[in-house]
């Protein structure tokens, strides 16, 4: 079966930067739908090795100065521009979802496979947002790897932040960028 609308959706998805994601963001029902879509990924062993932390604007207003203070303590020689960026990046889109990998040792399922499942859940969020007429940007950055920032977000020591998925209504059309050439990335094994 060839589902043309689904193929069109996948072929037209492009990132709109978080700075261009405006209100309205996802409604509570859309947010629930997005997380449900995010959990419909390959999951060897049915371990559900991921979880999601919703950061609406109110939460991020409280969080931004705390993250900024952590970054300043971590890097006291930062430029003013970098300080401002730390506080600003979390305020851009109406919604931010933190995707967390909860991978753990398992007798049959390697941690790597569990982490891939968490990455797939982040991609499903982005694709789901596109299908809903929204847009999303997957960002990482220093807070992804900083132990104190993770603690502040409620991410446990053994967990990893896969990324921050910023979601909103695109204020500008996405720009196209050069894409890799198929022949550079696809080979056919000849034996």
In the numeric block, the tokens 């939460």 are attached to 59
- The predicted pLDDT at position 1 comes to 59
Q: Are 149 and 114 in contact (CB under 8 A)?
A: no
Looking at the domain assignment, is residue 82 inside a domain? yes
User: What tokens does 61 get?
Assistant: 């207003």
Domain residues for the domain of 26 are 18-172
Round to the nearest angstrom and report the end-to-end CA distance of the chain: 31
In-domain check, residue 189: no
Mean pLDDT per segment of 10 residues, for the chain of length 191 residues?
81 91 96 98 97 94 89 85 73 94 97 98 97 96 94 96 97 88 93 89
Angstrom distance (rounded) from CA 157 to CA 80:
30
Residues forming a β-bridge with 95: 56, 167
- The predicted structure's pLDDT at residue 15: 92
Give domain status of residue 113, yes or no: yes
Question: In this structure, what token pair is assigned to residue 23?
Answer: 């209100």
Identify the pLDDT of residue 36.
Answer: 98
CB 162 within 8 A of CB 118: yes
* Residue 176: per-residue pLDDT: 86
d(CA 152, CA 142): 13
Q: What's the pLDDT at 156?
A: 97
Q: Is residue 5 part of a domain?
A: no
The pTM is what? 0.93
Q: What is the pLDDT of residue 88?
A: 73
Here the CATH number for the domain that contains residue 110 is 3.40.109.10
Q: Which residue has the tokens 């921050």?
A: 164
How far is it, in rounded angstroms, from Cα 104 to Cα 125? 23
Q: What is the pLDDT of residue 129?
A: 97
Q: What is the 3-state secondary structure (H, E, C) of 8-69?
A: HHHHHCCCCCHHHEECCCCCHHHHHHHHHHHCCCCCCCCCCCEEEEEEEHHHHHHHHHHHHH
Q: Please check whether residue 182 lies inside any domain of the structure.
A: no
How many independent structural domains does the chain possess? 1
Tokens linked to 135: 């847009």
Asked whether residue 4 is assigned to any structural domain, the reply reads: no
The owner of tokens 């990324």 is 163
44 part of a folded domain: yes
Residue 188: inside a domain: no
Q: What is the pLDDT of residue 87?
A: 67
């Amino acid at each position: 079966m060839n589902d043309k609308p689904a193929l069109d959706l996948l072929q037209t998805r492009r990132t709109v930067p978080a700075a261009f994601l405006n209100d309205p963001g996802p409604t509570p029902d859309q947010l629930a739908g997005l997380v449900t879509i995010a959990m419909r990924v390959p999951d060897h062993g049915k371990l559900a090795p991921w979880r999601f932390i919703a950061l609406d604007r109110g939460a991020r207003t409280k969080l931004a100065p705390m993250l900024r203070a952590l970054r300043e303590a971590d890097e006291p020689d930062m430029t003013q521009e970098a300080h401002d960026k730390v506080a600003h990046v979390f305020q851009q889109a109406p919604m931010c979802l933190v995707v967390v990998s909860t991978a753990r040792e398992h007798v049959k399922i390697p941690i790597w496979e569990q982490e891939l499942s968490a990455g797939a859940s982040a991609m499903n969020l982005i694709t789901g947002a596109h299908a809903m007429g929204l847009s999303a940007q997957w960002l990482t950055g220093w807070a992804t790897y900083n132990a104190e920032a993770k603690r502040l977000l409620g991410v446990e020591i053994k967990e990893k932040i896969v990324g921050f998925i910023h979601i909103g209504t695109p204020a500008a059309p996405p720009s196209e960028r050069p894409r890799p050439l198929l022949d550079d990335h696809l080979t056919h094994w000849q034996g």
